[in-house]
Amino acid sequence: MDLKLTGKIALVTGSTAGIGFAIAKSLTSEGAHVHVNGRTQERVDAAVEAIRSHAAAAKVDGIAADFSGSAGAEAVIAKLPAVDVLVNNVG
């Protein structure tokens, strides 16, 4: 299925495991440049590598941030000021 996401920027919060990870992986397969998010850099790095091992050409990066306070959201906005697709999966 072509969702016409090629070249689009996506942020999937809470995407180091489970449903969030599956969504991030699916969006990369649709051509989106996906930004994986989790609370720790270690888990974010592991998720990014797992997606890349599945699809070497995947455009995927990671942003570690904890959204339990506003500082996490502000840090993500500073690093990624605009997105085309936002999946809120925290919690």
Main-chain phi, psi angles of 56, to 5 degrees = -60, -30
Q: Pull the structure tokens for residue 60.
A: 């995927």
Strand pairing class (9-12; 60-64): unpaired
Using one digit for the tens of pLDDT, what is the confidence trace for 38-81? Answer: 999 999 999 999 999 988 889 999 999 999 999 999 999 999 98
Q: What is the CA radius of gyration of the chain?
A: 12
Top-level class of domain 9-87: alpha beta
Using one digit for the tens of pLDDT, what is the confidence trace for 6-38? Answer: 999 999 999 999 999 999 999 999 999 999 999
Res 2: pLDDT = 83
- The Cα 28–Cα 58 span in angstroms is 6
- The Cα 45–Cα 71 span in angstroms is 21
Q: Work out the end-to-end distance of the chain between its first and last CA atoms, rounded to an integer number of angstroms.
A: 29
